[in-house]
Structure 1
Amino acid sequence: MTSRTHPIAPASKSLIKAATAAFMLGCLLTPSFAQQAPTVLIDGSSTVFPISEAMAEEFQNKQSGKILATVGSSGTGGGFKKFCRGETDITGASRPIRSEEIALCKESGIEFIELPVAVDALATIINPGNDWATCLSVAELKKIWEPEAQGKVQNWNLVREGFPSGRLALFGAGTDSGTYDYYTLAINGKEHSSRGDYTATEDDNITIQGVIGDKNALGFLGLAYLTENAGKVKAVAIRQADGSCVEPSIATATDGTYQPLTRPLFYYVSKQAADAKEHVREFVAFLFDADNQKELVSEVGYVALPAEAATLALMKFESRKTGSHFEGGSKIGVTVTDLVQDAAN
């Protein structure tokens, strides 16, 4: 497998992405190159982006330039908009597709195959200098993030008696993000129900840098970004119903003990693209190869599908089973076992 060095500084990463995009655009505008190198078009969730990036890089290396794979990061909502307009072959999502997005795809004649790709433990993060908020309850997190907190809960001492009076600096996913949807549902009880006076971004590296730069900061993002920045930020443990404090990790996401912030991650594949493009079929087969899942998904800090689940997901793709197993929104408390069952149904 290709060696990938982490972390990449945000500014450097942006320059690399821009240079890569410019190179790819130049290549795609050359007719002979486009004919020789069919391209898998991937976009979507910033949380799923590290998986897509690792898979695309390794796939291209295996193909020796015969097939290319481009990866964008428009957020889950932005990715679905492109996908449902037929602009991409595959979109990553950190939540299930919504009813209105299903309707948009239907209007454009886009059928989709919903494939679970990994499990994420959504992390609440703090600065390493924060020695007081190491374990918070869902109720305390709700006190910070609920809409009623805007303009009122500005200091840590309003979260819990005994906390210092430092002014909260909040960072998190933008409103077009599946991470935002899931976090607000899990913590506040309703999607898109949140205070608005925080630094919202589709670039999780901005959240990382914000928390690194302020002792009183708190943010939320996917597990891969916590893993990539270990030592620069630290995770807040979540107090469970039995009183235990559980931190986000591959282990606690796998066994389902980290609740309510363990969630599935998805790929949605266009049936039209799968039927018409052999290179898309080859890429999906690569995605759900059990060895690739185990190595590449785990490498970027998420829980890989068990071999059985990866096989079932590929079978679902090959049978072109379309539609969503969810009721137009996220579900709390989904485990790896649930993903296997969803793939099998």
Structure 2
Amino acid sequence: MKLLKIIPDNTNIPFLKWRNVAIWFSFALIAASIALVAIRGLNFGVDFAGGLMMEVRFEQPVELDELRETVNTAGAGDGNLQTFGDPRTVAIRLPLPPGDDAAVQAVVKQVQDKIRVTHKDAEFRRVETVSGKVSGELIRDGALAMLLAMIAISIYIWFRFEWQFGVGALFALVHDVTLTLGFFALTQLEFDLNIVAAILTIIGYSLNDTIVVYDRIRENLRKYRKMDMAELLNLSINETLSRTIVTSVSMMIALGTLVVLGGSVLFGFSVAMLLGIFVGTFSSIFVGAPLLLWLGVTSDSFVANEASAEDRVKAKKAAERGQV
């Protein structure tokens, strides 16, 4: 029985032909994402912003402006409202009232009573509270976790391959993370600890995909020392293309199902992962590999290092035999 091949063995797509367009396009997207985060900011959830969050479900979609006016009349401060997964579910975020748990419960009851007056069908699903101190610590720890993960990964690739590969992988990771943050700044989807977990997962996936391509590049550098570097990179990408496409498409199908059917709790995580898989696949092909050319890697860049290593081994064996 003949096995089905999604990508034929003789595939030779000239990816490096578009390397300049892809790199500058990536730079433009990174700049746009940074600008969006700086100007619009991220819509931090209660985990990061602190405060009181209530999730309310209605039988029919509601007008957010009308519901906002109702919430504001409860005397609990200005409410920040947004749909949560679908038009019938609304997340209400309020400032955390001073005092103990009794004060918080009193505010929750006031808001619920006001909403029930105009919306008999309101179903209050959950209430969460996070203090400002805890939210500040979570922001710091979440950012530190992403930064340390990226640095540790780059150091590993540096020692596993060469420094040029480490720089290329680091830029690919920055590309993937920055674009994901820019997407959340653009859409104003809630950014909470679930999204941090998604970004850390994206970093791991992007690393895995990039290392597969880099490992094939290193193998081909040893096999084809007289081949033009652009051709060698094209060959390496095409040789790993089947694995890349199968893995990415399989994950996208699963994540797409979660986006549609997973409900509001998993919506942000699933969207972040779906976008991250797409940009991670793009970066491993059009960013990580072409950057090696910009960093001066050629088909004989590492021949001297390998030769000197072989010489040291031979010298050691000769010394052991008493011939040195």
- Scaled to the shorter chain, the TM-score interval is under 0.3
* TM-score between the two structures when normalised by the length of structure 2: 0.26
* TM-score between the two structures when normalised by the length of structure 1: 0.25
* Higher CA-based Rg: 2
Name the structure with the higher strand share.
1
Name the structure with the higher helix share.
2
